[in-house]
Amino acid sequence: MLSIVFSTLRTGISPMPTLGKVRRQLLPLIESDLSGTILELGCGWGTLAFALADRCPRARVVAFELSPLPFAFCWLRQRLAPRSNLELQRQDFFRASFSDAALVVCYLFPGAMTRLAPKLLAELPPGTRVLSHTFALRGWKPLRTLMVDDLYRTPIYLYAVPSPDA
């Protein structure tokens, strides 16, 4: 419990999972035959990471998580029900390279989105897709926005990384 509190203070967000209704609307936005690398930024308990690995069997899903308890849970889950295309990394995703990503998926918080935007612009080729729910990338124009029919009317944003001169 203390480790979750400490990690929440460190990262700025608790390991709150993506809920079922959001997941069910988010996953069909991703082509199931997508190949290449999908980055899950802050995978929490693995709710989205395992679903992404199932949705895109030809892709390699790299899921980052800093918080020890959720990471250990994911690790155990991967031992018990392995997904051959899922790789878990206990690492700060801000320190990882995004350069070979075909898709970036996240459910973070406004401060992290602000910090993330320049990294996405610097490291991803224009046109690379970024999927975020709940929080938007300020100043970016989504290709699509969906509103989930849940209590919070959760927005899901699908972006394409703009070209530098756009």
Ligand X SMILES: C[S@@+](CC[C@H](N)C(=O)[O-])C[C@H]1O[C@@H](n2cnc3c(N)ncnc32)[C@H](O)[C@@H]1O
Instruction: Give the residues lining the site for ligand X (CB under 6 A).
Output: 7, 11, 13, 15-18, 40, 42-44, 47-48, 64-67, 70, 92-94, 107-108, 112
CB of 156 to ligand X, least distance (A): 12
Looking at this protein, which amino acid is placed at residue 16?
A: M
CB of 42 to ligand X, least distance (A): 2
Q: Which is nearer to ligand X, 131 or 161 (CB)?
A: 131
Strand 36-41 and strand 129-133: the pairing is unpaired
- Alpha-carbon torsion (72, 38, 100, 161), positive or negative: negative
CB of 112 to ligand X, least distance (A): 6
Q: Which is nearer to ligand X, 51 or 102 (CB)?
A: 51
Torsion of CA 70, 76, 79, 80, to 10 degrees: -110
Separation CA 136–CA 114 (nearest Å):
9
Find residue 62's DSSP bridge partners.
39, 87
Q: Which is nearer to ligand X, 145 or 163 (CB)?
A: 145
CB of 127 to ligand X, least distance (A): 23
- By beta carbon distance, the residue nearest ligand X is 42
Q: Which is nearer to ligand X, 15 or 83 (CB)?
A: 15
Separation CA 109–CA 123 (nearest Å):
21
